[in-house]
Amino acid sequence: MLVAAAPAEASRLVDVSLGPLLALPEVERGRLLRTLGHWFTSGGVTASAAERLFVHPNTVRYRLRRIEELTGRSLSDPIALCDLGAGLYALRLLPF
């Protein structure tokens, strides 16, 4: 709804929540965003995300730590999860 009603605010949300990830080189950016997306889709279950990505669970854990470091947001913080999830969803719908 936010993306449709206020695309400028949705774009700002993406920049604020995912900006450091978007600044990465394309390959690394894609890898981290895919990992985060699969982790959300898997309900935060690392092993399930790893299966979807065809990687070892430790690889997913490493990538999630990298996301936390880059964004300054903890994936164990519910507010940070909301921000990252909303930003990820908006990113999929907006033309970036």
> Left, alpha or beta for 6 (phi > 0: left; psi -120 to 50: alpha)?
beta
The answer to the question of residue 5 being in a domain is no
The answer to the question of residue 54 being in a domain is yes
The answer to the question of residue 77 being in a domain is yes
The answer to the question of residue 83 being in a domain is yes
Range of the domain at 33: 11-18+27-93
The answer to the question of residue 4 being in a domain is no
24: DSSP letter: S
The Cα–Cα gap between 43 and 11 comes to 25
The answer to the question of residue 58 being in a domain is yes
pTM score, whole prediction: 0.90
The answer to the question of residue 6 being in a domain is no
The answer to the question of residue 40 being in a domain is yes
pLDDT in tens, 6-41: 778 888 989 999 999 999 999 999 999 999 999 999
CATH, residue 40 = 1.10.10.2840
Q: How many domains does the chain have?
A: 1
pLDDT in tens, 39-89: 999 999 999 999 999 999 999 999 999 999 999 999 999 999 999 999 999
